[in-house]
Amino acid sequence: MPVLRFGKALDPRNNSLNFIRLILALMVLFAHSFHIVGAGNGPGFRGENLGGWAVAGFFGISGYLITGSRFNNRLGTYLIHRVARIIPAFLVCLVVMAAVFAPIAYFLQHASLHGFFQTPTTPLNSIFANMFLKINSYDIAGTPAGVPYPGAWNGSLWTLYFEFLCYLLVAVLGTFAFVKKTPWPMLAAFLLSVAVWANIDRLNPYMQGNLDFNLLARLAPFFLGGAVVKVLSKRVGLSWQGAAVALVISAAMVFGFDGFGNQLAAPFLAYTILWVSTWLPSPKIVMNNDVSYGAYIYAFPVQQLLAVFGAYHWGVWWFTLAALVATMPLAIASWLAVEQPVMRLARRRV
């Protein structure tokens, strides 16, 4: 097997990736606060707000980790692990929104629950319509209403569909032995994904402007950028020198290529994040408990429920703090009651 030429491999048991992902989830929460209180898009640069860059970071980390999972597992095992990690907590979140959050908002809006189960979109239909990750309905029974960002209970969940499509892409690539033996196929897949995004305006007429195609084309390069770092990891380890070079190259690409520089920089951004995870201190409890997914899927509905009660009048900073305090117990509960037990069961069954 090839040996590392410089730097060191990422220690799977001694890194701060859980902590970094939690930070990214809270960045998304903060970015969404601007929308939910009616204060615009919030801070950002080069065509992405803070939440968009956080999602790019999520996809880069996932690309690295998920590619490693695929290359180290049979297809069936890989798919079971991926479904177990993302679907159960997602479904529970849909149920919580329909059975808890929406009735509260509906009662405040109508002074009763009369008609709650018959109004478009009904609570049961909101669960069924969205249960396969593709978000087809954002409201539940006409709620939330009377807020700066009405008609959407969860503006974060849409990314999960595209992340799972990336899982399936890596699943397919991993069935070919030569993809595991040499980094060139994954590098080619990444460059192709960047080329697609760079030419999205030319391709759109042939795709009838399909929104899903556009969103996948925008996000897939970040995932494949992390995958590229993974397939090169036996040849190129993580080092501060490498991270410094990667950061400079990232900046040059982001500012040097309009429209697709962010995507082109994806492997270098992923490398930098992974290196940061080797030295950034992480609370041990976070290292052993990954609450980032729960924070990501529950933050938006918590923020909307706060808005229903009028908290959007508090301004971005106080609103964000209240949302953070209210979100974390749900994130912890999601990890302890759903995500961790399901993953343990999945690992025992395969």
pLDDT in the model for residue 208: 95
Q: Which two tokens stand for residue 60?
A: 């880069």
pTM equals 0.94
Candidates 265, 262, 329, 271; CA nearest to 302 is 329
pLDDT along the chain (350 residues), means of 10: 67 94 98 96 88 97 97 95 97 98 96 91 95 96 96 97 98 94 96 98 96 97 98 92 96 95 98 96 94 98 98 97 98 98 88
pLDDT in the model for residue 5: 56
Report the C-alpha gap between 163 and 133 in whole angstroms: 10
Report the C-alpha gap between 267 and 265 in whole angstroms: 6
pLDDT in the model for residue 258: 92
The answer to whether the beta carbons of residues 137 and 130 sit under 8 Å apart is yes
CA neighbours within 13 Å on the CB side: how many for 167?
A: 23
pLDDT in the model for residue 156: 97
Candidates 143, 163, 161; CA nearest to 153 is 143
317 to each of 33, 35, 312, 320, how far by Cα in Å? Answer: 8, 13, 10, 5
Which residues pair with residue 140 across a beta bridge?
A: 143
Report the C-alpha gap between 210 and 232 in whole angstroms: 33
pLDDT in the model for residue 55: 97
